[in-house]
Structure 1
Amino acid sequence: MSDFNDQVIADFNKNGGKPGGYFENAPVLLLHAIGAKSGEERTQPLMFLHEGDGPWYVFASYGGGPKDPAWYHNVVTNPDFDISVGDGTTIERVPVHARVLEGDERETTYARQASLFPQFAKYKEDTTRDFIPVIELTRR
């Protein structure tokens, strides 16, 4: 997965925040989380939901896997970090604060993402976890 992520990150940076390939025409940000154990910055490309001037939402789907991804534990432990977002020309590094959504708020936001990108419905169907965490990222 590291080689894949490295390629997506390089493509993101080369194309002003709009990677091609698997993520062509998908909203992608770079999450620069601080490692829960290491304290070092870890960069992860993620699809996101962002409408209007509201917060960004990311989804700890892990492709429908049975456990939460490592980056999720990092943002829970260290909720203040940066993301990079781009418009195809310019990339902006934005300081954010993470908040894990719960209950109906989580379900409604996840359903919105699944309506836009059906693979998220499949991830929810495939996982053995009780739910896939949804994280709200607000500008600090």
Structure 2
Amino acid sequence: MANTYTQLYIHLVFAVHGRERLIKEPIRERLQQYICGIVREKRHKPLAIYCMPDHLHLLVGLHPDQAIADLVRDIKGNSSTWLNENRLLFTRFEWQRGYGAFSYAKSQLDAVVQYIQRQPEHHARVSFREEYTALLRKFAVEYNERYVFEWVE
């Protein structure tokens, strides 16, 4: 798109279906690399990623030619298919419906990248539910607790 100039940074968060802890350490790196490949293929820029066993954090520099919902659909669909076709798990894999998308300014990127890279340490103190609802409150996103993922305690 000629004469289009953007600076869009989006932090995506979504969960494994049923919040099952399926993303184990042996496949985590491979899955992250695969997802970053999807992001690059769609002309976005992956800035940080961390797959926890039951959810994912991804920071992207968003290209204006694709809507966020379409990018998330492509990531979820392609990564699920890849995991299942390559039989990288002992069970069928799928992502839960829905996602969070939070925008940041360029001046905030270093802090967001560090936050994403430190997910294991963060979740030693804070549950995913607490983290996700805190993000929704921080960004003043109205939500109904009934429709915020399927929580498994």
TM value normalised by structure 2:
0.29
**Greater helix fraction, Structure 1 or Structure 2:** 2
TM value normalised by structure 1:
0.31
Larger Rg: 2
**Greater strand fraction, Structure 1 or Structure 2:** 1
Larger RCO (CA within 8 A; separation ≥ 6): 2
